[in-house]
Structure 1
Amino acid sequence: MQTPAANVHARLHNRQFVVASNAHGLSGTGTVFHYQVEDGAISSTYQGGRIRLGTQVGRVTGPDTIELLYQCLTLEGELLAGWSRGTVGADHAGRTTLRFVWGWLSGATGGGESNYVENTA
Structure 2
Amino acid sequence: MEIHFSQISERLNNRRFTVANNAHGLSGAGTVFHYYVEKNAISSTYQGGRIRMGNQVGRATGPNTIELLYHCFTTDGEILAGWSRGTVGIDHAGRTTLTFVWGWLSGATGGGESSYIELAA
TM-score by length of 2: 0.97
Cα separation, 2, equivalents of 1:3 and 1:92:
26
Aligned twin of 1:23: 23
Contact 1:4–1:61 (CA<8 Å) still a contact in 2? Answer: no
Runs (5+) with no aligned partner, structure 2: none
Cα separation, 2, equivalents of 1:65 and 1:74:
27
SS of residue matched to 2:61 = strand
Aligned twin of 1:96: 96
Please say which of residues 2-11 and 105-114 is displaced more in the overlay. Answer: 2-11
Deviations 1:50-92 (A, max 9, x none): 0000000000000000000000000000000000000000000
Please tell me the residue identity of whatever aligns with 1:19. Answer: V
RMSD: 1.0
Q: Per-residue deviation at 1:39? A: 1.1
Aligned twin of 1:118: 118
SS of residue matched to 1:29 = coil
Deviations 1:70-117 (A, max 9, x none): 000000000000000000000000000000000000000000000000
TM-score by length of 1: 0.97
SS of residue matched to 1:11 = helix
SS of residue matched to 1:9 = helix
Is residue 2:16 matched to residue 1:7?
no
Deviations 1:21-72 (A, max 9, x none): 0000000000000000001000000000000000000000000000000000
Q: Per-residue deviation at 1:4? A: 2.3
Please tell me the residue identity of whatever aligns with 2:110. Answer: G
Cα separation, 2, equivalents of 1:52 and 1:21:
20
Contact 1:4–1:64 (CA<8 Å) still a contact in 2? Answer: no
Size of the alignment, in residue pairs? 120
Contact 1:18–1:119 (CA<8 Å) still a contact in 2? Answer: yes
